[in-house]
Structure 1
């Protein structure tokens, strides 16, 4: 999708936006049931957002994957009116997490500037970081990604949800991204339950006033995550 269409959408639909970046591990160890369940979860997330009249016009979803040998932008930030269907994810390769987070933050900064240029308000952006392993990309990129994320979180410009998948997820690295909230470990392969919770949280946010402090459904997290990591 070209940038002109996405900019025109801000003029035609000036609804305040909820930017959500899904930064997803699709390395080789995600092959089999994990990648199938992840695909089903993302599909459920899209469908739930589309079924909510307010969120359908407010939510903008970007998906950045890390697998193979590099990070890939599968979808840039845009409403589900413009890109109604999620990409199909397949697993292979390494875990260049730092590269992916930096790409997601770059896409977010660019989209935020487009919001400002168009006079469209937006809610505090969300970054969902999901991984089942240990980052093995460029260590300098990982360090820069952590520093950028922490600065944004500390200045209330980003909300991050770091989520480990399986017993081999590096929870210590995920914790470095999140100075205010401990990382969570997914219960088994409960991707659908997580994305159901996420869609409800996005819907709640879209019905609030930008800048308002939204209380997350902490109790609902127990349905998909182990709170003790």
Structure 2
């Protein structure tokens, strides 16, 4: 059975409310070496932590969109980790088409939300995690469109966005445009593992709440990996 049918069947067999989490990750050439190694370890840690939490295992749906090479790619579409238990392996190369990646992530999210509605499955406010170590150098119109779409969803309480800069060359000004209500954060050093630990705890907490409930983020915990 193909992946699309499995993902649809899962909504019928498992009507648990979903927590959609999209990781939109910079895998451009400048991420080569220790940064991409740490990012891979961090994503694996997120997967392991969700799989170890029985509620989150059935609630969390993780999608991974990368931007590097010459374009954005969906390497994992939204599905529970019961269906897709293995984290993707990320390689670094190429450019930084950030706008293209965010637009693709939002398109995938809109499509999955329609599938939830079609099957009568409730869902929590989706999360978009945008991580980059440089400046976007894709199509400027697509970048502006991605910024406008993200801000519109955040302002209408349809999305929680976490823009995170990696290293000293991250374009924090552009990241700030994606987040109308919260400043972007800069990762302390290469603390990817600490970030993904925090994210997995936040996903677990959300999955144990009621859809529509206002979840208080662990702001103290952010200090363990991020800085304003």
TM-score range, shorter chain: over 0.9
Secondary structure at the aligned position of 1:62 is classed as strand
Partner residue in 2 for 1:214: 215
Runs of 5+ unmatched residues, structure 1: none
Partner of 2:88: 87
Q: How many angstroms apart in 1 are the aligned matches of 2:76 and 2:221?
A: 28
- Paired residue total: 227
Deviation at 1:4, TM superposition (A): 1.2
Q: Which residue of 2 aligns with 1:32?
A: 33
Once residues 226 and 119 of structure 1 are traced to their aligned partners in structure 2, the CA distance between those partners, rounded to angstroms, is 40
TM-score by length of structure 2 reads 0.99
Q: Secondary structure at the match of 1:77?
A: strand
- Distance in 1, matches of 2:99 and 2:3, equals 26
Q: What's the counterpart of residue 151 of structure 1?
A: 152
Structure-1 separation of matches of 2:109 and 2:34: 30
Q: Secondary structure at the match of 1:76?
A: strand
SS in 2 for 1:163: strand
Q: Match of 2:173?
A: 172
Q: How does 1:91-110 map to 2 (within 5 A)?
A: 91-110=92-111
TM-score by length of 1: 0.99
Residue 127 of structure 1: SS of its match in structure 2?
strand
> Whole-Å Cα distance in 2 between the matches of residues 146 and 15 of structure 1?
31
In structure 2, what is the equivalent of residue 126 of structure 1?
127
Moved over 2 A (4+): none
Q: Partner of 1:201: helix, strand, or coil?
A: helix
| Map of 1:42 onto structure 2 | 43
1:138 shift after superposition: 0.4
Deviation digits for residues 137-159 of structure 1 (CA, Å, limit 9, x no counterpart): 00011000000000000000000
